């Protein structure tokens, strides 16, 4: 949360934020001070500040007690700006590593309501160091004088060894009152996967939502990628409570109404809305059919030999052709986009043909259709039964596993077993949903110590590196690497921090065989998608920089521009790249898996066959040189110098 330093702020430097370092080993505040905003990165928040924190630490082991985990929000988190809900968990990733094994800085973003409550406590940056002697709850609380208070206590049995829904239900009963509809607290918890952080490097953090706390259904949001849950688990923190009885809710001036109307109902978010919601196109789930129609949907470990391979689990098939299922579009707190596509059993009397009536009369909750989780736990594992697909995706959330990394690992194991020779995971094969569920359970509870460390570490030990789908140790998301040479230059999750993943399909001007096309996309535009990871909004709002800048002016009453937002975003991106270099990355670290290239097994597919080694080499060399020049130009060269 930002605080005015003067009565009538005129510039970003007229604001400050509270930064606290909390030693969880001792349960004490190591330091706490109000820090004056120095620049636009500080003001915007999120990774604009957490990368600066990362630069202050020398980290060789992400799980060492001295390694930091920073929690913060963006400047628009907890304001009336629609989708301004995000919290960020940032540290050194156990997954994202150099070829020499050094961990690299990264972050994971969480929507839902934890972020707005965290901001309302008055906290700016909370930096956790140390490791608690026993499983513990961390409480970040609002106080009467506006200064956030942090305390730690022993976790009860309900928060140890249990699944994430049980944990959030316990916390909800303890801190909130559902009957009185009083919800002063929201929560961020780990699951059993993060408790086994030594062998599970891709555990996530699960956050509560207003709908979930009110209904009791397991409707959550996630800080999923890069193993931040594992880092939190290594600090022995089972749950974080953001306790703020009084919502601090900056409403902005009249301009914000028009901005929110466009975000919630306008053309910019139409693609993420349900067809019954202002003529929407279906949410992220529409991508399965979009990509399957042209033969590039991930299938059986990213190897689709044809088109329309996954029709039974297309969102549209499940929504329109399964009378035993009811889909209801839902949204996060205060958001009219309603991008969530929640599936329920139909009632005993059958699904009402009127969608408006069906959404109020349904059976039990089955799971949420979000593209990444459903695609990777379905078609990419050869699982094409809608109920099995929903159950597998939901299981990741219950266990506290990052659904992307977990399913890419399972797909790798299936691919490995299909090639003959030694078998892993009991010989698990494509299409075996029950076996995939058992493997996920075994990973989460520490019974498969190698398979919990990600495909990079797995392939280094047992082989299979050419078809271990990752870049810099981070598993590829649900878009073929064969179509996306930008993956290695993502500074966090592959599709959330480098927006080149859909260009092959959606850009009518795409020149896939042109190195210059990809160089320009990566260096001039791809990085810009991380603006949301500074100011606290959602990717699905698709807010152009000028709209965000106007929102900032409306809420904070100071001048701001889209150009400044993009400049701060690029600085944050380049600082992230410089921190990768600080940890020892060289040109060879920015590589793609061998089988994705033309002439290899996964590189010559009916739907895509352009990415040769030579083409990628040209792209990589030029992009690497470009970003290194800007490291020096923007004043981050000293970070790279520290590596030597």
Continuous H helices in 122-254: 164-175, 192-195, 210-215, 228-234
- Give CA separation, 336 vs 274, 315, 361, 461, 551, in Å: 11, 20, 21, 47, 17
Is residue 126 predicted with pLDDT exceeding 90?
yes
Is residue 211 predicted with pLDDT exceeding 60?
yes
pLDDT single digits (tens) 278-304: 888 888 899 999 999 999 999 999 999
Is residue 644 predicted with pLDDT exceeding 60?
no
Contact 478, 304 (CB under 8 A): no
Report the Cα 522 to chain-centroid distance in Å: 20
DSSP string covering 165-176: HHHHHHHHHHH-
pLDDT single digits (tens) 540-593: 899 999 999 999 999 999 999 999 999 999 999 999 999 999 999 999 999 999
Quick one: average pLDDT of 396-400? 98
Residue whose pair of structure tokens reads 């974080």 in the numeric block: 240
According to the model, what pLDDT value does residue 432 have? 98
According to the model, what pLDDT value does residue 643 have? 58
CA dist., res. 491 & res. 54, Å (int) = 14
CA dist., res. 184 & res. 177, Å (int) = 9
Is residue 461 predicted with pLDDT exceeding 70?
yes
Taking the CB of residue 157, how many other CB atoms lie within 10 A of it? Answer: 9
* Pairing label, strands 220-223, 340-345: unpaired
CA dist., res. 437 & res. 428, Å (int) = 11
pLDDT single digits (tens) 136-151: 999 999 998 889 999 9
pLDDT mean across residues, the chain: 96
b/e for 497-533, b at 16 or more Cβ within 10 A? bbbbbbbbbeeeebebeebebbbebbbeebbbbbbbb
According to the model, what pLDDT value does residue 275 have? 86
Q: What percent of the chain has pLDDT over 70?
A: 100
DSSP string covering 470-495: EETTEEP-SS-GGG-TTGGG-SSSTT
According to the model, what pLDDT value does residue 614 have? 98
- Residue 12 or residue 217, greater confidence: 12
Quick one: average pLDDT of 353-382? 94
pLDDT single digits (tens) 406-421: 999 999 999 999 999 8
Phi, psi at residue 639, to the nearest 5°? Answer: -65, -45
According to the model, what pLDDT value does residue 302 have? 98
According to the model, what pLDDT value does residue 71 have? 98
Torsion angle in degrees (nearest 10) through CA of 503, 311, 356, 268: 0
Domains and CATH numbers, the chain: 2-243 (3.60.9.10), 476-644 (1.10.599.10)
According to the model, what pLDDT value does residue 642 have? 67
Continuous H helices in 239-377: 255-265, 286-292, 315-320, 355-358, 371-377
CA dist., res. 182 & res. 173, Å (int) = 11
Six token digits for residue 479: 């878009």
CA dist., res. 602 & res. 496, Å (int) = 24
CA dist., res. 131 & res. 433, Å (int) = 37
């Amino acid at each position: 949360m930002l605080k005015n330093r003067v009565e009538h702020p005129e510039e970003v430097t007229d604001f400050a934020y509270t930064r606290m370092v909390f030693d969880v080993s001792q349960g004490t505040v190591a330091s706490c001070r109000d820090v004056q905003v120095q620049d636009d990165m500080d003001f915007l928040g999120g990774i604009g500040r957490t990368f600066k924190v990362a630069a202050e630490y020398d980290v060789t082991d992400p799980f060492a007690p001295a390694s930091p985990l920073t929690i913060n929000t963006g400047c628009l988190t907890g304001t009336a700006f629609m989708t301004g809900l995000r919290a960020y968990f940032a540290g050194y990733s156990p997954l994202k590593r150099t070829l020499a094994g050094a961990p690299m800085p990264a972050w994971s973003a969480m929507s839902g309501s934890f972020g707005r409550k965290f901001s309302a406590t008055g906290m700016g940056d909370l930096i956790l160091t140390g490791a608690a002697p026993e499983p513990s709850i961390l409480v970040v609380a609002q106080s009467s004088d506006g200064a956030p208070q942090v305390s730690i206590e022993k976790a009860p049995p309900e928060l140890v060894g249990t699944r994430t829904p049980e944990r959030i239900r316990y916390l909800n009963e303890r801190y909130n009152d559902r009957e009185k509809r009083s919800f002063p607290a929201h929560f961020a918890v780990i699951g059993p996967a993060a408790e086994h952080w030594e062998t599970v490097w891709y555990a996530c953090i699960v956050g509560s939502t207003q709908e979930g706390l009110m209904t009791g259904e397991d409707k959550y949001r996630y800080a999923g990628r890069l193993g931040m849950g594992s880092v939190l688990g290594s600090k022995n923190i089972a749950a974080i409570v953001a306790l703020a009885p009084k919502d601090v809710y900056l409403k902005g001036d009249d301009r914000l109404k028009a901005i929110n109307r466009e975000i919630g109902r306008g053309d910019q978010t139409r693609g993420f809305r349900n067809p019954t919601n202002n003529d929407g196109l279906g949410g992220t789930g529409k991508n399965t059919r979009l990509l399957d129609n042209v033969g590039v949907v991930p299938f059986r470990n990213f190897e689709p030999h044809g088109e329309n391979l996954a029709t039974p689990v297309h969102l549209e098939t499940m929504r329109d052709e399964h009378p035993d299922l009811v889909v209801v579009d839902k949204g996060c707190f205060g958001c009219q986009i309603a991008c969530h596509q929640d599936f329920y059993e139909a009632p005993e009397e059958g699904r009402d043909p009127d969608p408006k009536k069906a959404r109020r009369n349904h059976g039990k909750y089955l799971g949420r259709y979000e593209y990444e989780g459903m695609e990777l736990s379905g078609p990419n594992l050869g699982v094409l039964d809608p109920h099995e697909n929903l159950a597998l995706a939901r299981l990741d959330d219950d266990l506290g596993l990052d659904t992307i990394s977990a399913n890419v690992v399972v797909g790798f194991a299936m691919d490995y077993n299909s090639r003959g020779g030694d078998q892993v995971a009991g010989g698990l094969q494509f299409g075996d949903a029950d076996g995939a569920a058992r493997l996920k359970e075994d990973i989460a509870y520490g019974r498969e110590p190698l398979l919990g460390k990600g495909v990079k570490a797995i392939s280094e030990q047992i082989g299979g590196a050419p078809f271990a789908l990752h870049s810099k140790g981070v598993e590829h998301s649900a878009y073929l690497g064969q179509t996306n040479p930008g993956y290695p230059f993502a500074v966090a999750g592959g599709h959330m921090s480098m927006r080149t993943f859909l260009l092959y399909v959606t850009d009518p001007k795409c020149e896939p065989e042109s190195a210059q096309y990809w160089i320009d996309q990566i260096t001039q535009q791809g990085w810009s998608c991380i603006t949301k990871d500074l100011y606290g909004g959602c990717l699905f709002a698709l807010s152009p920089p000028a709209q965000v800048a106007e929102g900032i002016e409306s809420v904070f009453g100071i001048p701001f521009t889209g150009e400044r937002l993009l400049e701060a975003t690029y600085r944050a991106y380049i600082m992230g790249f410089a921190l990768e270099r600080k940890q020892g990355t060289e040109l060879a670290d920015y590589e793609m898996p061998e089988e994705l290239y033309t002439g290899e097994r996964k590189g010559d597919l009916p739907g895509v066959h352009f990415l040769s080694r030579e083409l990628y080499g040209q792209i990589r060399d030029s992009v690497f040189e470009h970003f290194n020049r800007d490291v020096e130009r923007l004043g981050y060269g000293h970070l790279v110098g520290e590596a030597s």
